[in-house]
Amino acid sequence: MGFGISGSSRITYHVSRITYHVITMDIEPLRFSYESSLIGVLTVQLAPVMSQMDSARAKNLLNAGRKELLGNAVRITADLLPEIHDIYHSCLDTLGGGLSGDLFVRQSKEYNAGVFAQGKKFDVLIHSALLNDFTPDGLRFVFGHELGHVVFEHSRFPVRDILSNSGGVSADTADLLFRWSRATEVSADRVGLLCCGKLTSAAKALFQTSSGLSGIDSDRILRSFRRQYEELEAQIRSVKDTRSWICSHPMIPIRFKALELAALDILALRQQSGGFSRKGFQHVDQQIAAILEALDVNGIPWAC
């Protein structure tokens, strides 16, 4: 699951039970409930395919990913890059639960990161441009996002492998997989915010990723995202066939809005203040799922 870009049918919403006294933080309540609903549907629809894709094969894929990283990227250690190593480990510590995985960097001017995961085993890869240009809090958001894919076990449905498996899945199932894949980005962003602790830093990281621009004032970024989200909403209401413009309108404004709406609750969970509101989250999730559903109704191809 890349950090850069990355989604809805009418389904019931539910949020898992919440634990307020968290020692090892219970992340599950942060999962976008629309994602949970899609997992339920996909688990049934993909059962025959998943039983064919045995776990040994999945493990081999992880090993191949690690081999590729060890051969073509550089592992970040405390000795090599102490600050970055500390920032990454502060994210692992925030999430707790004995999470441990290596961090690698690869030369690239593209703002992107990714994670190779099999269950709770993982390696994180970050592009060098992010290390050069992002603030420590921005990096915490990116690392947290990637670790979010791990803690929520988003490797459970390897989308590319499933779709390239010529045994195949129906067009409807493929469509659900793409929607789920987009929804996972909303869930992962919440863990990113949990790790960085500041909405402005998270927004700035999303802004830098989508625009390639640095050094813009936070207030301007927030205003820009809010306006763009409003325009997106208005477009969805007014245009029947949005197929032509959606590819040039990435999910970023929706991801920002989802974060902004959930920010207070996420930060309450981070501070373990007991202010985490299950009700508030249900409301947020319904609002974001509704806009994703509206995109679906209008015939948006999720994989553009």
Binding site for Zn ion (CB under 5 A): 1, 185, 188
Closest CA to 29 of 189, 260, 266, 199: 266
The smaller minimum CB distance to Zn ion, of residues 105 and 236, is found at: 105
Q: Side chain identity at 70, as an amino acid letter?
A: L
Min dist CB 149 to Zn ion, Å, is 6
**3-class SS at 116?**
strand
| 290/287 Cα distance (integer angstroms) | 5
Min dist CB 185 to Zn ion, Å, is 5
The smaller minimum CB distance to Zn ion, of residues 185 and 260, is found at: 185
Rg (CA), the chain: 19
| 107/220 Cα distance (integer angstroms) | 30
The smaller minimum CB distance to Zn ion, of residues 177 and 188, is found at: 188
Retrieve residue 205's tokens: 């990281």
Cα-based distances in Å from 258 to 178, 205, 226, 270, 289: 18, 15, 11, 17, 9
The smaller minimum CB distance to Zn ion, of residues 6 and 8, is found at: 6
Min dist CB 251 to Zn ion, Å, is 10
Min dist CB 212 to Zn ion, Å, is 18
The smaller minimum CB distance to Zn ion, of residues 137 and 185, is found at: 185
The closest residue (CB) to Zn ion is 1
Min dist CB 225 to Zn ion, Å, is 18
Q: Fill in the DSSP letter of residue 234.
A: H
Min dist CB 3 to Zn ion, Å, is 5
**3-class SS at 125?**
strand
The smaller minimum CB distance to Zn ion, of residues 69 and 236, is found at: 69
Angle at 281 between CA 174 and CA 111, to 5 degrees: 55
